[in-house]
Amino acid sequence: MSKTVAIAHLPSRALIAVSGPDWRSFLQGLLTQDVETVAAGEARFAALLTPQGRLLYDLFVIPNGDGAWLDVAAQHRDAILQRLTLYRLRAKVELAADSTPVFARFDAPADGEAGWAPDPRLPALGWRGYGAFEATVDAAAYDTHGLALGVPSPADWGSDKTYPIEANFDLLNGIDFKKGCFVGQETTSRMKRRGVIKSRMLPIVFEGPAPAPGAELLNGDLRAGEMLSGDEGRAMALVRLDRALGAALTVEGRPARAEVPSWMSAAVQEEPA
C-alpha cells in the first residue's frame, strides 16, 4: 500500500519573476542573504529590511531559467514589487507578478521530480514547490507543522515591527553576515557583533485556545513578552529571554511556559540573559 505524500498548496504565498542580466547583483545589494551563489534546484531564505534594519518582508529566492522567482507573502506582493521598482534605478532588471502556484511538502520528492527545492530554513520543514501539483492536505496542516517546530511566520513579525534576529532569521539561514552590504545591514551586523539578543520569538505552551495576538505574557507582575499567532495549546510570542526562559509564566490568567526548539537551543544558551 503506497504512502500518501503530504503536499499543501500555500495560497498565502505568491511569486515575483525577476529577470535581466543584472538580477543577481540587484538582489545582492538589497537582501539579507547571498544571491550570487544560489544555484538551480536551491532556494535561499532572505529578508528585505528597512534602512534602519527592521524586518519588512520575508522571501525565498529560487533560480528559474535566466532569472529567479521571489516567493513572497501574497498580501504583500504588490508592495514588494513597488519597493523593488523604486530600488531598480538603472539596473537591467525586469520585475513582474507570476501566477505559478506555491506548494510545500513534508518529505523529499522522487529523484528527477522537477519543481521542488529543499526548504533552506530547516530540513524538517520539507520542500517548497513551484508548479502544478496536487494538494493532499490543506495549508493549515503546513502551518501547524511549522508551529510545532517553533518556526515563526509572517503572521508573527508583521511588517516594520521587529528586527530579523528577533524573528530568528539568523538561526534559520536567513542572513549571510559575510556577503557584504544590504539594506539595513549596519543595524543587523551590530546586533550580531554585540552578541546580546534580549528578545526572540519562541513557542509558548498553554491549555485552551490561542490567546489574542498582542496579549501580555507575564512572569509574575513583570511583562515577559507579547503573544503572536497560534493555535490550540501552542502559539508564538516575542519574549524577553531573561524573563521567559525557565520561568512560570501566565497569559490571560492561564499558566504557560516557553519552549526552546532544538534547532535554536545552543544559540539561546550562549546569549547572556
Residue 137: give its domain's CATH number.
3.30.1360.120
CA angle (261, 192, 160) in 5-degree steps = 80
Count the Cβ atoms, other than its own, within 10 Å of residue 140.
Answer: 10
Q: Is 251 left (phi over 0), alpha (psi -120 to 50) or beta?
A: beta
Query: Are 88 and 152 found together in one domain?
Result: yes
Query: pLDDT for 200-235, tens place per residue?
Result: 999 999 999 999 999 999 999 999 999 999 999 999
Q: Cβ(95)–Cβ(17) under 8 Å?
A: yes
Structural domain count, the chain: 2
Q: Specify the pTM.
A: 0.94
Cα atoms in the 13 Å half-sphere on the side-chain side of 150: 18
Query: pLDDT for 234-248, tens place per residue?
Result: 999 999 999 999 999
* Residue 175 resides in a domain: no
* Residue 143 resides in a domain: yes
Least confident of 49-58, 68-77, 140-149, 187-196: 187-196
Q: Is the pLDDT of residue 273 over 80?
A: no
* Residue 174 resides in a domain: no
* pLDDT for the residue numbered 3: 59
The rounded distance, in Å, linking the Cα atoms of 204 and 192 is 25
* pLDDT for the residue numbered 1: 41
Give the phi and the psi of residue 78 in degrees, each rounded to 5: -65, -40
* Residue 189 resides in a domain: no
Q: Is the pLDDT of residue 269 over 80?
A: no
CATH of the domain at 251: 2.40.30.110
> pLDDT over 70 for what percent of the chain?
97
Q: Is the pLDDT of residue 180 over 50?
A: yes
* Residue 61 resides in a domain: yes
SS3 204: strand
Query: Are 11 and 146 found together in one domain?
Result: yes
Count the Cβ atoms, other than its own, within 10 Å of residue 246.
Answer: 9
Query: Are 95 and 13 found together in one domain?
Result: yes
Cα dihedral 260→262→264→265 (10° resolution): 70
* Residue 253 resides in a domain: yes
pLDDT band, residue 272 (cuts 50/70/90) = low
By residue range, what is the domain housing residue 263? 195-270
> pLDDT over 90 for what percent of the chain?
86
Give, for 168, the enclosing helix (H) or strand (E). Answer: none
* Residue 165 resides in a domain: no
pLDDT band, residue 121 (cuts 50/70/90) = very high
Q: Which of 127, 157, 187 is the last residue of a domain?
A: 157
Query: Are 11 and 136 found together in one domain?
Result: yes
Query: Are 25 and 153 found together in one domain?
Result: yes
